[in-house]
Amino acid sequence: MKQLRKVAPVLEVKSADGADQIGRMLDNIDLIARATGTTDKARSVRDGWEAKVAEGKKALADAGLDGARFAFADGYVTSNQVSLRPYTSGSLIGSVNEAIGLKNAWTVKGDASYGLGTTDVEGLTALPKDTRFAYIGSDDDKNSTPFTGALAKNSVWTSLPFVKAGDVHRLPDGIWMFGGPASMEAYIDAVVDALTK
């Protein structure tokens, strides 16, 4: 950092804050806007974000899903072992879910910065029976989509109430789960679409 400061001004942006992910995301937008002279654009981005949250919250409430239990995770297969990463209330995804009226079903503890937990397929049995479950996978990397791959014939996975009820939703690939307002707006659209079909 010291070397870079000798060449040009340097702006340090904190990437995450498990205590207030949405606030961190919006503060970062404002910080970059002030540094680049684009505060009008930042206000527009903030307004669009707030409108999308309100739209998503209303759509879920209209569908009778206000307060519905929801769990988002991603997963990986390494050496034939499935590892799952719950996005707890302290994650950006978890915070967005709560902002649109969903209740985070995860009880595992996430890390302080990103709110990400760790579990395995057996850990999913701790989720309440009325949980709706979602994930983002990748058809290009079968090891990052265990829900339709390694777990498809797993007796623990197939016995889960939300799996039996068809409440497992694959959201569109390409939504960056650690992104800014545009990513989170795409995520809101995907969640609302998946849950209200």
- Domain with 40, as residue range(s), is 1-197
Partner residues linked to 78 by β-bridges:
81
Total domains in the chain come to: 1
Residue 57 binned pLDDT confidence (cut-offs 50, 70, 90): very high
- Tell me the per-residue pLDDT of 72-101, one tens digit each, with 9 for 90 and over: 999 999 988 999 999 999 999 999 999 999
H-assigned helices in 67-170: 92-99, 155-159, 161-164
- What pTM did the predictor assign? 0.94
The CATH number of residue 61's host domain is: 3.40.50.1980
Average pLDDT over residues 165-182: 95
- The CA distances from residue 81 to 19, 117, 144, in Å, are 31, 17, 12
